Structures are given as structure tokens and as C-alpha cells.
Amino acid sequence: MQTQNIDGRMFIAGQRTWSRSGATLDAIDPATAAAFTTMALADSTDVDTAVTSARAAFEGWAGLPPVRRVRILNRIAGLLRERRAEFAELESLDVGKPLKQAEDDVAAAAGYFEFFAGVADKVFGSSIPLGRGFVDFTLREPLGVSAQIVPWNYPLRLASRGIAPALACANAVVAKPAAEAGLSIVRLAELAVEAGLPAGVFNVVTGGRETGAALSSHPGINHITFTGSVPTGIAIMKAAADNVVPVTLELGGKSPNIIFEDADLERAAASSATTLMQNSAQTCTAPTRLLLERSAHDRFVDLLAQRIRTIRMGRGLDNPDMGPVVSERQMNRVLGYLDAGAKDGATAVTGGGRSTARELAHGYFIEPTLLDHVARGSVLEQEEIFGPVLTVTTFESVDEAIAIANGTPYGLVTGIWTRDLSKALTVATAVKSGQVRVNAYSVEGSIGLPFGGYKRSGFGREQGVEALANYTQVKNVMINFG
């Protein structure tokens, strides 16, 4: 890949552009800690230009016959699939994830555009009976300009998760990727124009916290979708309150993976090893909190440790099993958790620190870590680590498993492994989380499944037809024709 040619400009009104002030920031390769390109750093003036551009394009876009939006969204998906290698290389370099995982992300992004292309001409209203002489119907209208504030862990995939339904429902978009990684989102906006999206409908401003704050507080936006940390979600909600705009928040998790003795332990162990390797467990849904039935503990830990010991780490572009974490800051954050765990009496069955391999010394590599004897209620068991660390806590009964699963402020996903249907349903109905996954943690077609949090994991549902509720407002029309 020709890294020196990567365009670091953002995308406003259908054009690549630097910020008005000329400010920039470096894009860093997390495998080497070296800068590979320079990105535009947008300030409030650039954000204002992007929002103005989206406002200007909105009416024209919303006025099109929906079937034209169907075609454009399908063309975006088609181009993404055609350019899969290019997007995957960019994402792998920017985030550090193995190339194969980045390719899966591009396919998932295309999948979002295909799914929402399929519903763009089916945003139905309803008809409500009022008796003779009256008709009453509802219209589901777009909100206007949707601000999409995206984290660094799955830039293309998470941006597509929000942008595809926003566009399908005839909104315009201003997206703001994270400073750590998000070049693929700018490239996506450029590709969307190539697919026929009118200039100005989808804009991208690049930068960090200040750029995000300028966007979330801009009076010209009508909606915010945010994925990221709880403190930032709270700041964004406050900014949205000042302008009275709705928000959709997806704020991460501390997902439990409950493994009963009667489960297929081999499959559950394979799934847990995948959790570590998948983007170095920098995944909001990652079931990193293993809850093991005490009688299965030794066998499961042994099976999982054997798998973890075979994980090869390396630079994402070389397609290893696992890459580095995204940044020095994230690495230090994860190492801080490992120190806290050691003080709390947790024992590292595998890993436990930064990689000592000479060829990985310059990058942000943390060994895949399995921590046993993690005390219920300890920092490691409660807080989102967001790095390649699995924690093990044991339980003795179904009730205790449910209590531990529900014992954090988060509620995004719960994994359950058992052959006993009654046990699975008892837990599935008792846990406070937006999704429950039994005997498999991933499935083809998951884009159609509503996804979002309970408790401090956020609110609003993305994916599936439920997502349309985020991007439309309902108008009721009552007519007396008698």
C-alpha cells in the first residue's frame, strides 16, 4: 500500500478540503507508532461549513422519489464491495486490526447499505380509523441533518451502521470520525458521491474532542447518533439538550459470557479466543467477562488457555491473528487495568502485560491475557477494559450467574452457553441487556437484529427496521371530508 499517498483531507460539499485554519493532526500506525499521513483538523468554522452544506442539500435529497435513494444506497454497497481491498488496507493501517478482519468490516459496511437500501422505499406510515367523514394517516418524515460521531474501533462499520439508515430515511449527514482512526469514513463519503449521492448530503469533518463538541452543539443539526464512552455520551446529551435534538447513544459494555457445565466447552472456548483476537477486544460487544460455573472452571480455563497460546501477533497489514491496540493512550489505559488486577489478586493464566517480542517493540502490542480469580465487584470485573483481556469469575447457581451478570452499570449483550433450554431462557429473560446470544456469539445476517443498550450502555436501537425510528419523525394528518 502506498501510505505516503493517503489523502488526509476531509470531505465537505462534495469536495476534499483542508480545514480553513490549515490545522492538521498526524495519523499514526499503531503497529510502529510512526505517522503515515497528515489529516485535516476541523474547527468550529469548518463544522459550520459542513452543517450549512448538509442543510442546503437536505431538501433536494428528501424530495427525491424514495426508489432513487434505494438505487444510490445499493450502488454505494456495490462500490464498497468492489473496492474492498483498498478500504480494508486503509482500515487495517489506521486501526491496527488484521487485514482479514478489516475485510469483514468492509463487507459489513456494504451490508448496512444493502439492508437500508431495501427499506428506503418502505418507510410506511399508518392509517387510523376515526369514523364516517374522516380520514387520518401518518407520514414518517426525515429529521433533517443527522450528526454521526464515531469511535476509532470500527470506523467504517460503525459509521455505516448510522449513516445508511439516516440516508435511507432521507436525512443529510455530517460525520465526525475519531482522531485516532477514521480515514475510511472520509473515503466512504467520496465514494458515495461517485455512486450518485448529491454533493453535500454526506459530509465528514475530521478532528478530536473539540471538533466533536462543535458538531454536537451546532444549532443547525437535528439529531445525533453517538457511539463511544459514557462520559462523552453524557456531554453530548447535554449539548443536544440545549438545542432540543434527539440522540441515539451506544456507550459500550462489560458483556458477561455465562458458561454452564453442560455447554459445548470446546465451542465456547473457541468463541472466547476469537473475542480476544477480534480487534484486540476493542469491541463494545466483546464478552470479556467470563462467568464460569465452578464445576466447569478448570476444564474451560485449560481449553481456552491452550487456544490463546497459539495466537500470533503482528502488524495488521501482515494479517496476523491479532494486532496492536489503537494508540499509546489506549495501551497505557489497558496496562493500568492489568496493574490494578494484579493488586486485587487476579492471576494471569496467559499474557498479563505488553509484548516483549523484539519485532513488536515499537508498536502498541499487549499480550492476549486471561485473568483468573477476578473478584466480583473489583475494578477489572466492573469497568470496560477495551483491550485483549478476558476476566474469569465463577458462580454456583443460575441465580448467582444472573446476579453477577446484572451487577455492572452496563447492559449491552449477554452470552449464554448451555444445552439446557430452560436454563438458557431463564437467564435470557432475567438479564438486563439489549441483546442475548445463546450458544453462538455471532451470526450471518446480524444487521437485521435490533441492537442497543440497557442501563448505561445507552438507548435507541440501531440495525434492523427498529433503526428507522431514530431517523424519522411522525406527522399525523387528520381530514374531515364530511
Q: Is 199 helix (H, G, I), strand (E, B) or coil?
A: coil
284 is catalytic: yes
Overall size of the chain counted in residues: 482
- Which residue, 144 or 387, is less far from ligand NAD as judged by CB? 387
Nearest position to ligand NAD, beta carbon: 212
Catalytic-role residue among 203, 279, 462, 470: 462
Q: How far is residue 145's CA from residue 167's CA, in Å, rounded to a whole number?
A: 10
- Which residue, 72 or 256, is less far from ligand NAD as judged by CB? 256
Q: How far is residue 212's CA from residue 46's CA, in Å, rounded to a whole number?
A: 12
Tell me the closest approach of the beta carbon of residue 475 to ligand NAD, in angstroms. 30
- Which residue, 61 or 386, is less far from ligand NAD as judged by CB? 386
Sheet harboring 223-227: ordered strands across? 15-17, 10-12, 202-204, 172-176, 145-149, 223-227, 247-250, 458-459
Q: Which helix (H) or strand (E) holds 102?
A: helix 99-119
Q: How far apart are the first and last CA of the chain?
A: 70
Tell me the closest approach of the beta carbon of residue 161 to ligand NAD, in angstroms. 9
| 206 contacts: CB under 8 Å, gap ≥ 6 | 8, 10, 25, 39, 40, 41, 42, 176, 177, 179, 182, 186
- Which residue, 74 or 211, is less far from ligand NAD as judged by CB? 211
- Which residue, 242 or 302, is less far from ligand NAD as judged by CB? 242
Closest CA to 125 of 117, 134, 135: 135
Tell me the closest approach of the beta carbon of residue 240 to ligand NAD, in angstroms. 10
Cell 467504517 belongs to residue: 156
What one-letter code names the amino acid at 7?
D
Catalytic-role residue among 257, 284, 293, 470: 284
| 405 contacts: CB under 8 Å, gap ≥ 6 | 256, 258, 291, 414, 427, 431, 433
Please check whether residue 98 is in contact with residue 320, taking contact to mean a CB–CB distance below 8 angstroms. Answer: yes
- Which residue, 14 or 233, is less far from ligand NAD as judged by CB? 233
Tell me the closest approach of the beta carbon of residue 359 to ligand NAD, in angstroms. 27
- Which residue, 76 or 236, is less far from ligand NAD as judged by CB? 236
Q: Which helix (H) or strand (E) holds 243?
A: helix 230-243
Tell me the closest approach of the beta carbon of residue 216 to ligand NAD, in angstroms. 5
For residue 337, what are the CA distances in angstroms to 365, 372, 390?
Answer: 15, 14, 12
Kind of pairing between the strands at 15-17 and 10-12: antiparallel
- Which residue, 30 or 228, is less far from ligand NAD as judged by CB? 228
Tell me the closest approach of the beta carbon of residue 183 to ligand NAD, in angstroms. 13
Dihedral angle of Cα 97, 102, 108, 113, to the nearest 10 degrees: 120
Q: How far is residue 375's CA from residue 373's CA, in Å, rounded to a whole number?
A: 6
Tell me the closest approach of the beta carbon of residue 435 to ligand NAD, in angstroms. 13
Q: How far is residue 170's CA from residue 414's CA, in Å, rounded to a whole number?
A: 34
Tell me the closest approach of the beta carbon of residue 211 to ligand NAD, in angstroms. 7
The residue ranges that bind ligand NAD (CB under 6 A) are 149-153, 176, 178-179, 208-209, 212-213, 216, 227-229, 232, 235-236, 250-252, 284, 384, 386
Cell 455505516 belongs to residue: 160
Q: How far is residue 127's CA from residue 103's CA, in Å, rounded to a whole number?
A: 44
- Which residue, 14 or 228, is less far from ligand NAD as judged by CB? 228
Kind of pairing between the strands at 472-480 and 134-142: antiparallel
Catalytic-role residue among 250, 367, 381, 384: 250
- The CA-based angle 471-447-238, given to 5 degrees, is 40
Kind of pairing between the strands at 458-459 and 435-438: unpaired
Catalytic-role residue among 153, 171, 222, 470: 153
250 is catalytic: yes
Could you give the residue numbers annotated as active site?
Answer: 153, 250, 284, 462
